Amino acid sequence: MRQSAQGSAETGNPEIRTQPPRVPPQARVEDMDRQRGVASAGTRGEHTHSETPIPRPRLVQRASVRGQILEALRTALVAGDLRPGEVYSAPALGERFGVSATPVREAMQQLALEGAVEVVPNRGFRVVERGARELAELAEVRALIELPVMLRLARTVPAERWAELRPLAEATVRAASSGCRATYAESDRTFHRALLALSGNEQLVQIADDLHRRSQWPLVGAPASRGHADLLADAVEHTALLDALIARDLDVVRSLVGEHFTGAS
C-alpha cells in the first residue's frame, strides 16, 4: 500500500487535534473552570492565587480520520493495490494503515454505497469486478450529461476563462508522465471539475465527478496501471479540448469529448 495514515507514537492511530480556545489574560480562573464544566477551586473554598488552570483535553475528530482513510482506500483502488474480486477485512487494512478497524470499516461502507466494494458477511469487503461493458455504459452516461454542458459553455464562456484552466490541463500531462495511475486520476478529475464548475451548477459537478471516479476503477483482468503512452494520450486531449473550446469549434469539442470518455479507464 503506497499511502498510510500517520498516527500518534503511543497508539499508532491517526489523530487530528484541535487546540484549546484562547482565554483573555484577565479572565478569572473560576470562569475558565466553569467553561470546562468543572467546579472552580474558589467555589470549593480552596486558595486559587497560584494555581495553573488545567488545559482542556485535545479531541480526536473521528470523521476526519475516516475521511483520510477513505481517500487512501480510493487511491489504493485506482492504483490497483485493492484488486478486483479480492476480499479485504477491516482489521487487516487497519493494521496496514496504523489505525483501528472502525474508521476502515466506516470508509469501506462508503465505498460500498459508491459501488466500489460489496459486503461479505463475517469476512470483510470484496472489490467489485467490473468489465468493459460497465465502462462503456459509464462513458455513455458521462457524455450524455457533460457534452451538452460543454457545448453550451463553448458558446458563452469567454476565451480568457478557458485559458485560466490551461495550468490544470498541463498538470494532467505532468501527472501522466509520472506513470502513476492514482496521481493521474486525481489530476484528471480536478481538470474536469474545474471545467464543469464554469456552469455554476454544483449538483452537476458532483454527479459528474462521481461517474468520473467510477470510470477510473480498474477492470477485472486488466493491468494494474496503464502505461505512459496511454496516460499521456489521455492527458493531451485535455489541452486539445481547451483549444477547441477557446476557438468555439463545436464539432471538434463534440468529437474530443466522445473519444476522451470512451478511452478513459
Does 138 map to a domain? yes
Q: Residues 167, 122: one domain?
A: no
Asked if residue 155 and residue 112 are part of one domain, the reply reads: no
Residue 86 belongs to domain spanning: 62-127
**255 and 193 share a domain?**
yes
Residue 231 domain flag: yes
Residue type, 164: E
152, 242 in Cβ contact below 8 A?
no
CATH code for the domain in which residue 87 is found: 1.10.10.10
Q: Tell how strand 87-88 and strand 124-127 pair up.
A: antiparallel
Coil, helix or strand for 120? strand
Last residue of a domain, one of 127, 143, 172: 127
Burial of 158 (0-12, 13-18, 19+ CB in 10 A): exposed
Grid coordinates belonging to 241? 479540448
pTM above 0.75, yes or no: no
Q: What whole-number distance in Å separates Cα of residue 211 and Cα of residue 43?
A: 60
212: domain CATH number is 1.20.120.530
pLDDT tens for 211-264 read 999 998 887 765 544 567 888 999 999 999 999 999 999 999 999 988 888 765
Q: Does residue 69 sit in the same domain as residue 191?
A: no
**What are 137-151's pLDDT values in tens digits?**
999 999 999 999 999
Domain-located, residue 172? yes
| Same domain as 123, residue 136 | no
